[in-house]
Structure 1
Amino acid sequence: MGTLLHEAAHAAAQARGVQDTSRQGRYHNQKFKEIAESFGLAIEHDAKIGWSVTALPAGAAAHYAATISSLDAAITAHRRAELHGAEGGRKSNNNGAAAVCSCGRKIRASLAVLDAGPIVCGLCGDEFTAED
């Protein structure tokens, strides 16, 4: 909710004709801070990005509780099926094969590289093996 209100503050600034950022939108100025705080956010200053560090205080969370509850009920993860080789789609990829070592680190490498000889993890000393 804090992120949504942060972005809503930018939208409100734009609608009001207020310049709330500089440096290609990376630095948030005092005007942004004032608008964001009017939405209930707590805003802190960062030397690199200005008044952008956003938190949703308990009072604001209580004020927006019904909206937060509605959003929580509505949000679900969706993923389209990947159709490899489908007409018009890409027929190959450059991602390589995933390989994992015993400490859980993962890398990607071509099958030819994995077949050429062991790749050893610098942390646990075990070989990376291709995942299925």
Structure 2
Amino acid sequence: MQDFTTFICYQLKMTMRKVEKYITSHLKEFGINFPQSLILFCLLEREGSTLSEIGSRAQIENSSLTTMVDKLEKEGLVERRMDAQNRRVTRLFLTDNGRRLAEEVFAAGLKFNRRLKNNLEGSEDNLIKALKTISKSLD
């Protein structure tokens, strides 16, 4: 029988677990968690996004997203505003403090990404292609 720890899915899970642990430990200094950082990144990219747009982009379930946004709002990092054209739609915006924090966390993320790329020694494109192939095969 083949050792299950050689399965690709097992290796992916163990690697992602290490990545999340590393990211979580470094985000503590900023007072946010990994999914919250993704929400802030979405708003850096597109200020005024709806919760569903953010959830789709960051791959966060709506039930979890609302709780996370509530916390970010309580911390004074984001604010909700009604859409000018459709009052049933709520849009999310960074506060000045939220923008500063998001930019700091993004800079730290870029630094970590460079570290990972350096460790890949030029095989980054192959890894990204392989991951996309795996993802597409599961759709």
TM-score (normalizing by structure 2): 0.29
Q: Which has the higher contact order (CA 8 A, sep 6+)?
A: 2
Q: Per residue, is there more strand in 1 or in 2?
A: 1
Q: Per residue, is there more helix in 1 or in 2?
A: 2
